[in-house]
């Protein structure tokens, strides 16, 4: 296997006393959809902005298509497309004007009329930017990111704040990019997004990569375990739930207890007996198959969106 299309080695970045990146390393192969999954403030956006050439690392190596984002200038910009966390265009700029303007920044240009059709913006070609819905603005941002037919596309939280229908539309576009053999690096804090879209995922927390692999490989860490979430009428003490039959891990989040059990029936029976003995009441109980959320909880002791 040759040089990865994205290579990150031991990246460090500080903002004053804040350590945003503390030795981040990973590699992305050509044609992969690669995800950086982690809570807000984990270091995902800083990593992507260094790879886009928008920020300078304090130390470490960042390469995209074999190029140094900081030093290769126009040649580098021709190879990438990017959707930032927020896109702001002049209110009175029309959709077609925006695409044509961005196309003129590059030597290699896609057909902007085809892009409008591809992103379902044909009917909005003459609409002002201020007249677009949130989903339409995001589709326009994606179209502008592809106007130079890039080799690598960076998508920083591309579905944050969008309703479920629009999120599914964005998912379809990312799947289309995969079929077109584009390399996509996506940051997200949505578990289902990473599991559905990404070939491989790096889980990032406090500026470090704490786990790396395919979603299936990462979920194997919790193989054979079920996540049980319970709410009780009264709190329990002394770690009682963690000592129930089959329970390997128990943590409390916002008044709910999250248990990981390798023997779900025995755990539930033991839970009911214990609650009866304590004269406590079960208000709710939910069970979930292993997910990347469980990996994050087991590694950090926190939920992903805390």
| pLDDT of amino acid 306 | 55
pLDDT in tens, 138-197: 999 999 999 999 999 999 999 888 888 888 989 999 999 999 999 999 999 888 899 999
pLDDT in tens, 31-69: 999 999 999 889 999 999 999 999 999 999 999 999 999
Radius of gyration of the chain (CA): 23
Determine whether 177 is exposed, middle or buried from the number of CB atoms within 10 Å of its CB (0-12, 13-18, 19+): buried
72 and 184 together in one domain: yes
Q: How many domains does the chain have?
A: 2
Domain membership of residue 43 as a residue range:
6-218
Percent of the chain with pLDDT over 70: 99
Say if 301 falls within a structural domain.
no
Helices and strands (DSSP H and E) totals, the chain:
10, 13
- Strand 200-205, strand 33-37: pairing: parallel
Say if 306 falls within a structural domain.
no
pLDDT reading at 28 higher than 70: yes
Q: Estimate to the nearest angstrom the gap between the alpha carbon of 265 and the chain centroid.
A: 34
| pLDDT of amino acid 10 | 97
113 and 190 together in one domain: yes
Average pLDDT for 78-97: 92
36 and 72 together in one domain: yes
| pLDDT of amino acid 238 | 63
Q: What is the DSSP letter of 164?
A: H
Average pLDDT, rounded, for the chain: 92
128 and 238 together in one domain: no
Say if 182 falls within a structural domain.
yes
- Compute the distance between CA of residue 160 and CA of residue 188 in angstroms, rounded to an integer: 8
- Compute the distance between CA of residue 213 and CA of residue 209 in angstroms, rounded to an integer: 11
- Compute the distance between CA of residue 73 and CA of residue 71 in angstroms, rounded to an integer: 6
147 and 16 together in one domain: yes
How sure is the predictor about 254, in pLDDT bands with cuts at 50, 70 and 90? confident
Question: Which residues pair with residue 253 across a beta bridge?
Answer: 256
- Compute the distance between CA of residue 94 and CA of residue 129 in angstroms, rounded to an integer: 6
Q: Are 97 and 131 in contact (CB under 8 A)?
A: no
| Residue 275, H or E segment | helix 264-278
pLDDT in tens, 88-124: 899 999 999 999 999 999 998 899 999 999 999 999 9
- Residue 252 belongs to domain with CATH number: 3.30.70
14 and 103 together in one domain: yes
């Amino acid at each position: 296997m040759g040089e990865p299309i994205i290579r990150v080695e031991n990246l460090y970045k500080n903002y004053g006393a804040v350590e945003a990146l503390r030795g981040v390393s990973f590699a992305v192969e050509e044609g992969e959809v690669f995800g950086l999954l982690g809570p807000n403030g984990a270091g995902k956006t800083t990593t992507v902005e260094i790879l886009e050439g928008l920020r300078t690392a304090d130390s470490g190596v960042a390469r995209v298509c074999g190029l140094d984002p900081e030093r290769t200038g126009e040649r580098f910009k021709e190879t990438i497309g990017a959707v930032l966390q927020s896109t702001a265009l002049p209110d009175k700029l029309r959709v077609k004007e925006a695409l044509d303007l961005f196309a003129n920044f590059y030597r290699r240009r896609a057909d902007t009329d085809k892009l409008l059709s591809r992103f379902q913006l044909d009917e909005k070609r003459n609409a002002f930017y201020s007249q677009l819905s949130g989903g339409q603005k995001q589709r326009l941002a994606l179209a502008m990111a592809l106007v130079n037919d890039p080799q690598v596309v960076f998508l920083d939280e591309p579905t944050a704040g969008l309703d479920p229908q629009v999120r599914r539309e964005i998912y379809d576009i990312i799947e289309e990019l995969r079929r077109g053999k584009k390399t996509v690096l996506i940051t997200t804090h949505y578990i289902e997004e990473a599991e559905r879209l990404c070939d491989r995922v790096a889980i990032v927390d406090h500026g470090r990569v704490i786990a790396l692999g395919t979603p299936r490989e990462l979920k194997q860490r919790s193989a054979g375990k079920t996540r049980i979430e319970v709410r009780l009428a009264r709190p329990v003490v002394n770690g009682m739930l963690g000592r129930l039959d089959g329970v390997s891990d128990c943590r409390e989040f916002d008044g709910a207890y999250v248990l990981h059990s390798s023997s779900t029936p025995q755990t539930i029976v033991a839970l009911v007996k214990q609650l009866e003995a304590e004269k406590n009441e079960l208000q709710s109980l939910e069970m979930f198959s292993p997910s990347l959320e469980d990996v994050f909880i087991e590694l950090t002791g926190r939920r992903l969106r805390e």
